[in-house]
Structure 1
Amino acid sequence: MNSVWPTRPLGALVTITKGRKPRRLVYDAQGGAIPYATADFFRNGKALQFVPTDELKNCVITPKGCPVLIWDGSNAGEVFVGQNAVLASTMALIRPEDSILEEGFCYFFLKTAFNKLNDGTTGSTIPHVSKLTLAALQIPVPPLAEQKLISKLLFKLESAIAVQLRLAAVTDELKRAAMRKLFTHGLRGEPQKDTEIGPVPESWEIRPIGEVFEIVQGVSLKRNLSDGTDGIPFLRTSNVYWGHIDLSIVSRMHMPAEAIGERWLRQGDLLVCEGGEIGRAAVWERDESGITYQNHLHRLRPLDTGTANTKFTAAWLEVGFCHRKVYEGAGNKTTIPNLSRARLAELSMPLPTIEEQREIVAILDAIDRKIELHRKKKQVLEELFKALLHKLMTGEIRVADLDLSALDSSHTPHVAA
């Protein structure tokens, strides 16, 4: 790491203490027991086990704010901010010399060193951080006041990212609740009736999917896969998620266009996974031609556009497969479960009027836009964090040169003293 600041070996500025597993653990915090801090504890903030007070004298307790590393395992080198907890035996406490090195600054430096520490692990059975590699890392040492400014700003960014992640998760749960409500009660305040797919509004029809949609299975690869950027693009099951299609990686195949036949996608087509997570469904919303799909996907196209809306049907399939579980056992009984065309065609689905279908889709689309907004904000903040992390740590830019007033200081979880 090239730095305008002077650098020193990390081992000269920190004390490294490996965690120890207590002889006895309990499952609640009664009697002053404190959390047993594994990597999962730091990731999700929930303690599953606690250490009773009579065991604490034999343990390594992490001070709040002090960096801790995963020492053993495939994620060796990953760093967290310490809490008041007993450190697990698979982790290590990194305690800085506080007259020279601020805890938060040390934590963020260790974030930049993850790849070096993880790639340099030792041990043939269980990989673990090399203490020599860790101690030899050259850490920039700006004045303490600058370290505190840097860590305060980076913590603020981390907090803002966490806020967007939480908001996306909360909005996603709101969507799930809305879907359960909408597909049970509808929008017209009608009485309900019991059906083979569960309670639905009284006026809704229940019909087999094959009576509502043309179902066409995709193209078999038959060793026609392209290894480059030439050929016909096609979608796989790995492109289809619940409610959206991911085009970050699109495969291609060598096949005459005439061999595709009727399997070209049109805007509004519904794709349903035959294999993997069977039933996973999303609508092809792009207005472009020249793309097809593999034989592990079914393409559904309404027989009558005045009867069925594909986005409504995609949402129902998510409810039916994931929430209500009315399609449990829908796959054919083979070694690898699959949803054949015949089996998909006979599954029952609800059919309100096309107007009510569109209104339900509009509600769910509005929630989706909110989820996507939080995801995009999170992505922008993550990119900003990555860009600033290296430049601030090395002194390439200074905190005083930045205007990040848009970040709400109330989201900062750690403020250096």
Structure 2
Amino acid sequence: MNGWTDTILGDEIDLAYGKSLPAHVRQAGPYEVFGSNGCVGHHEEPLIAGPGIIVGRKGSVGEVAYSEGDFWPIDTAYYVVNKGGHDWRFLFHLLSSLGLKGLNSHSAVPGLNREDAYSIGVSLPAQPEQKMIADALDVVVDRLKLEDEAIALSQDLKRAAMRVLFSNGLRGEAQKETEFGPVPATWDESLLDDCATVQTGAAKGRKFADAEVVEVPYLRVANVQDGHLDLTEMKEIRIRKSEIERYRLQLGDVVLTEGGDFDKLGRGFIWRGELELCVHQNHVFAVRPDREKMLPEFFAYLAQSPYGKAYFLKVAHKTTNLACINSTKLKAFPVPVPPTLDEQREIVAILDAIDRKIDLHRRKRAVLDELFKALLHKLMTGEIRVADLDLSALTPASPGKAA
């Protein structure tokens, strides 16, 4: 392949065992400790000189991580011995492209079988071209990191804005204390049941006569992500035809999860009619506010705010790692409401602007992720060459800032 060398992976690298380092014996230090799923801590001394590559052996089988500096791989992971003297970043991208996650053994204790990995055929360019390929891929990787940072910063801004807006209002007015935190003194308090309808969802697994059953898309907890609805993987549920309208999502409904991790309890987002017909499962509520009293968007943001989180955590049924609320507790939510709908609209407009910024960075990140996957495959197979690429548009105008 234009001067590339055909070989097998085992002739170019070894996968060596890491060494146990339990968390209780680690001493705080500058060196990263890697397990099968990436960095799991730090230690005062390294085991292996960097740069280096770590490959998941147990647990997150075939996951590939990179360490720029010296590091300590523990015994759930392999570290790479670079027998062929290849460019380290090229080797990292190569291993990421080989589908090592699919080499999970079928023994009683699943893991990555080294012999299976060693037998994989690869074609390798000379080291100068390896570095050029790695540099090209790293341009996209660096841009992905910038988008991740922009998303994180925007989410921090949103949390700070909600904290201020729902405790001080728009104009920094006097506060009154409530059980769930301070709110503006001029805001009235109503139970959610007095200003909205709470609709419970359809349960899976019920038995029906085939003649009365239809299969329709339904919204699950998995579709309600942190800050947005993810409808990329929709499933269908069997329900009676007569029940469709009972469980159907309507434009402007606030979909609210009944449970999950403590920090994700009560995630609430607006249903914008993304699907013509969609119902919701029984672990997702549909809250339908009386629009003469409260805007749906206002309640969605209130549910995500520190005030809303404090209420849900207070009333939730809790286990070690999870919490959940029922419809009775949700209906009893004490909603602090500004005296005018115009004030609600102003608050929503501020938070909507931040959400649009977050969504823009998410969409840019998704495009970059697809670009990276395509480039990874085409560059590693020689289908395209670095000389054919122009990635200058991905270089930010100002270092450290996403465009």
Q: State if a TM-score over 0.5 links the two structures.
A: yes
Q: Is the Cα–Cα contact under 8 Å of residues 95 and 103 in structure 1 kept in the other structure?
A: no
Q: Is the Cα–Cα contact under 8 Å of residues 280 and 318 in structure 1 kept in the other structure?
A: yes
Q: What is residue 374 of structure 2 aligned with on the other side?
A: 387
Q: Is the Cα–Cα contact under 8 Å of residues 266 and 287 in structure 1 kept in the other structure?
A: no
Give the alignment partner of residue 285 of structure 1, picking from 264, 268, 272.
Answer: 272
Secondary structure at 1:180 match in 2? helix
Paired residues for 1:194-213 under 5 Å: 194-213=177-196
Alpha carbons of structure 1 residues 384 and 224: separation in structure 2 relative to 1, 3 Å: farther
1:339 aligns with 2:325: yes
Relative to its length, the structure with more strand (as a share) is: 2
The Cα shift of 1:215 comes to 2.7
Secondary structure at 2:272 match in 1? coil
Q: What is residue 133 of structure 1 aligned with on the other side?
A: 116
Which amino acid counterpart does residue 251 of structure 1 have in structure 2?
E
Q: What is residue 166 of structure 1 aligned with on the other side?
A: 149
CA distance in 1, matches of 2:94, 2:343: 55
What are the superposed Cα offsets for residues 334-389 of structure 1, whole Å, 9 maximum, x if unpaired?
99975333332222011002111111111111111111111111111111111111
1:191 aligns with 2:190: no
Q: What is residue 88 of structure 1 aligned with on the other side?
A: 74
CA distance in 1, matches of 2:249, 2:237: 15
CA distance in 1, matches of 2:84, 2:274: 60
- Name the % identity: 32
The Cα shift of 1:218 comes to 3.5
CA distance in 1, matches of 2:185, 2:274: 36
The Cα shift of 1:216 comes to 3.2
Q: Is the Cα–Cα contact under 8 Å of residues 232 and 255 in structure 1 kept in the other structure?
A: no
Secondary structure at 2:312 match in 1? coil
Q: Is the Cα–Cα contact under 8 Å of residues 9 and 136 in structure 1 kept in the other structure?
A: yes
Alpha carbons of structure 1 residues 9 and 322: separation in structure 2 relative to 1, 3 Å: farther
The structure with the largest alpha-carbon Rg is: 1
What are the superposed Cα offsets for residues 118-167 of structure 1, whole Å, 9 maximum, x if unpaired?
52547533x34323223322221212221111011112211211221121
CA distance in 1, matches of 2:61, 2:334: 49
Q: What is residue 38 of structure 1 aligned with on the other side?
A: 34
The Cα shift of 1:25 comes to 4.4
Paired residues for 1:252-291 under 5 Å: 252-257=237-242, 259-261=243-245, 263-274=247-258, 276=260, 279-286=266-273, 290-291=277-278
Secondary structure at 2:315 match in 1? coil
Secondary structure at 1:390 match in 2? helix
Q: What is residue 342 of structure 2 aligned with on the other side?
A: 355
CA distance in 2, matches of 1:411, 1:139: 38
Alpha carbons of structure 1 residues 233 and 395: separation in structure 2 relative to 1, 3 Å: closer
Q: What is residue 50 of structure 1 aligned with on the other side?
A: 44
CA distance in 2, matches of 1:334, 1:166: 33
Bigger shift: residues 130-139 or 2-11: 2-11
CA distance in 1, matches of 2:108, 2:397: 46
Q: What is residue 9 of structure 2 aligned with on the other side?
A: 10
Give the alignment partner of residue 306 of structure 1, picking from 292, 317, 320.
Answer: 292
Q: Is the Cα–Cα contact under 8 Å of residues 302 and 308 in structure 2 kept in the other structure?
A: no
Which amino acid counterpart does residue 265 of structure 1 have in structure 2?
L
Give the alignment partner of residue 64 of structure 2, picking from 76, 79, 82.
Answer: 79
Q: What is residue 364 of structure 2 aligned with on the other side?
A: 377
CA distance in 2, matches of 1:267, 1:370: 23
1:69 aligns with 2:55: yes
Give the alignment partner of residue 231 of structure 1, picking from 215, 230, 255.
Answer: 215
Give the alignment partner of residue 162 of structure 2, picking from 159, 165, 179.
Answer: 179
Q: What is residue 110 of structure 1 aligned with on the other side?
A: 95
Secondary structure at 1:268 match in 2? coil
Count of paired positions: 389
Secondary structure at 1:61 match in 2? coil
Q: What is residue 148 of structure 1 aligned with on the other side?
A: 131
Secondary structure at 1:300 match in 2? strand
Alpha carbons of structure 1 residues 136 and 40: separation in structure 2 relative to 1, 3 Å: closer
**What RMSD over aligned residues (CA atoms) do the two structures have, in Å?**
3.5
The Cα shift of 1:76 comes to 2.6
What are the superposed Cα offsets for residues 305-359 of structure 1, whole Å, 9 maximum, x if unpaired?
2320111111111225764x13324246999975333332222011002111111
Alpha carbons of structure 1 residues 181 and 73: separation in structure 2 relative to 1, 3 Å: same
CA distance in 2, matches of 1:94, 1:404: 30
Q: Is the Cα–Cα contact under 8 Å of residues 209 and 346 in structure 1 kept in the other structure?
A: yes
Secondary structure at 2:305 match in 1? helix
Alpha carbons of structure 1 residues 93 and 179: separation in structure 2 relative to 1, 3 Å: same
CA distance in 1, matches of 2:2, 2:378: 9
Alpha carbons of structure 1 residues 319 and 122: separation in structure 2 relative to 1, 3 Å: same
